[in-house]
Amino acid sequence: MTDLRDVNLNRLVVFAAVVEAGSLSAAAERLGLAKTMVSTHMQRLEAEVGATLIVRTTRRSNLTEAGQTLYEATRACLGAASEGLAAISAQPGPIRGVIRVASPVDYGTLIVAPALAALQRTHPDLEIELICGDSYADLVAERIDVAIRLGNLKDSSYRSARLGQYLRWLVASPEFVSARTLPKSPSGLDDVPFVALSTVAQPYTLSLMSAGGQRVRVRCKRGFRANTADACRAAVLAGAGFAMLTDFSIAQDLATGRLVRLFPRWAGEPAAIQAVYPSARQPSPKVSAVVEALKSYLMARR
């Protein structure tokens, strides 16, 4: 068993930089070291721990299972050290460094990007990378510092901060509505062309709740489907069918009449918007800054 006294802990900083930067060259640039020095640190660290940590290819470096285990512990260790340094500083300096934020495409475009842009204006030494996608990001494997999640959390091991909530409304284009006779209740929507988001667990099933608390589930017929919420919205605007879309993504469409609500007394159940980040006693200053920036931006929109 490797003894902690046998490991040069300074090499953990180099190791974390290699993992987070994706290659020895990028880590060397980030740390201000020669690439040969970074390579030497990695070779000696692997000798000290007695395991291969990274498999190197011509383009990037990939973690082994042992490397993943050590990186998770290293990240927690370095995060705790950063928290301690921030806590003992009587006058904390400006927030700096790199932070990677993941978000669903539509929420990232409409809310997260402008909120982070405002944050960077306040902290110009903070380098922000926004990664948008409609599938859940693995925070550790993809080196994500903060992920914005819509709906119920699946990652109980992560810490979270609630940002707000959203609703999903039944909508269609005016042209789509005028071209057909719609049913008198949501239960009759099973035979109306539907635009589905293919990345959700049950893309063709609608779970609706009325203003009076009544609930109904509708199984829609298969038709148009897309793998991003933005693409579904575009299809609905083009008349491909009706859909159940998030209130924040279609507010302008409703205000301008590009879309209309179907059965306005019915909607999907309210769902949470949360920021999640790897577990730690206290979030890092960068993570806290992102969360507060998002809360401030959302508050200003009310």
Could you read off the pLDDT of 268-293 as tens digits, one per residue? 999 999 999 876 656 778 899 999 99
129 or 2, higher pLDDT: 129
Render 111-157 in DSSP notation, one character per residue.
IIHHHHHHHHHH-TTEEEEEEE-SS---TTTTT-SEEEEESS---TT
Separation between Cα atoms, residue 132 and residue 136, nearest integer Å: 10
Alpha-carbon distances, residue 9 vs 21, 29, 53, 97 (angstroms): 19, 20, 15, 21
Confidence of residue 90 (pLDDT cuts 50, 70, 90): very low
Most confident of 6-10, 113-117, 163-167: 113-117
Q: What's the mean per-residue pLDDT of the chain?
A: 88
Locate 277 and state its tokens: 């980040």
pLDDT exceeds cutoff 80 at 68: yes
Mean pLDDT, range 157-163, rounded to an integer: 85
Confidence of residue 251 (pLDDT cuts 50, 70, 90): very high
Confidence of residue 91 (pLDDT cuts 50, 70, 90): very low
Q: Please give the sequence-ordered ranges of beta strands (E in DSSP) within the chain, or none if there are none.
A: 54-56, 61-63, 97-103, 126-132, 146-150, 159-166, 168-172, 195-197, 205-210, 215-219, 224-226, 243-246, 260-261, 266-267, 271-277
Q: φ and ψ at 277, to 5 degrees?
A: -155, 160
CA proximity to 70, closest of 89, 44, 47, 52: 52
Do the beta carbons of residue 15 and residue 53 sit within 8 Å? yes
* Size of the chain, expressed as the number of residues it contains: 302
| Burial zone of 258 (CB within 10 Å; 0-12 exposed, 13-18 middle, 19+ buried) | middle
End-to-end Cα, the chain, rounded Å: 57
Helix (H) or strand (E) holding 26: helix 24-31
213 or 284, higher pLDDT: 213
Mean pLDDT, range 1-16, rounded to an integer: 82
Please state, as a whole number, how many other Cβ atoms lie within 10 Å of the Cβ of residue 124.
10
Q: φ and ψ at 206, to 5 degrees?
A: -100, 130
pLDDT exceeds cutoff 50 at 112: yes
DSSP reduced 3-state for 22: coil
- Mark out the alpha helices in 187-246 (DSSP H runs): 229-237
Domains and CATH numbers, the chain: 4-88 (1.10.10.10), 97-166+272-301 (3.40.190.10), 168-269 (3.40.190.290)
Do the beta carbons of residue 125 and residue 98 sit within 8 Å? no
Helix axes 285-301, 113-122, angle to 10 degrees: 120
